[in-house]
């Protein structure tokens, strides 16, 4: 899968997965959606610095890769909710050890911080 961004074969499973999550905000999107389904605007607020265009394109790629589900409600004002698919949930779980590694080996230049991080 991974749409047609890398049409050929992958060297291994890792860079296949890396292709799916390549994108500046994708793992952050996954993390946010893992906690709760979100509307577009909520997601924007949860990711300080992301622009509408980039967020929209990332969401579309993740949807094409079967990672997130897009549910459109026919209301006024319009409302769209994004959530993780089962596959997205397994991807998130597979990222957890990497997050633990980062917390242990990288996030230790921070003197003190409050609240847990993924």
User: Does the footprint of DNA cover residue 83 (CB under 7 A)?
Assistant: no
User: Does the footprint of its own copies cover residue 13 (CB under 8 A)?
Assistant: yes
Tokens of residue 102, six digits: 């980062």
User: Does the footprint of its own copies cover residue 87 (CB under 8 A)?
Assistant: yes
User: Does the footprint of its own copies cover residue 102 (CB under 8 A)?
Assistant: yes
Residues 25-44 that bind its own copies (CB under 8 A): 27-28, 31
Comparison of 50 and 91: residue with beta carbon closer to DNA: 50
Q: How far apart are CA 34 and CA 4, in angstroms?
A: 26
What Cα–Cα distance (Å) separates residue 104 from each residue in 28, 30, 31, 82, 97?
18, 21, 18, 31, 10
Q: How far apart are CA 91 and CA 106, in angstroms?
A: 22
Q: Which residues bind its own copies (CB under 8 A)?
A: 1-2, 9-21, 27-28, 31, 66, 87, 90-91, 93-107, 109-110, 113, 117-118
């Amino acid at each position: 899968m991974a749409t047609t961004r890398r049409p050929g074969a992958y060297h291994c499973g890792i860079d296949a997965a890396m292709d799916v999550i390549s994108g500046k905000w994708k793992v952050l999107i996954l993390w946010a959606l893992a906690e709760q389904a979100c509307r577009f605007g909520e997601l924007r607020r949860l990711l300080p610095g992301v622009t509408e265009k980039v967020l929209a394109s990332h969401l579309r790629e993740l949807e094409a890769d079967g990672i997130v589900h897009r549910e459109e409600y026919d209301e006024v004002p319009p409302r769209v909710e994004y959530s993780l698919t089962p596959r997205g949930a397994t991807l998130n779980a597979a990222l957890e050890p990497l997050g633990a590694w980062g917390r242990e080996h990288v996030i230790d230049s921070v003197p003190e911080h409050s609240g847990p991080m993924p």
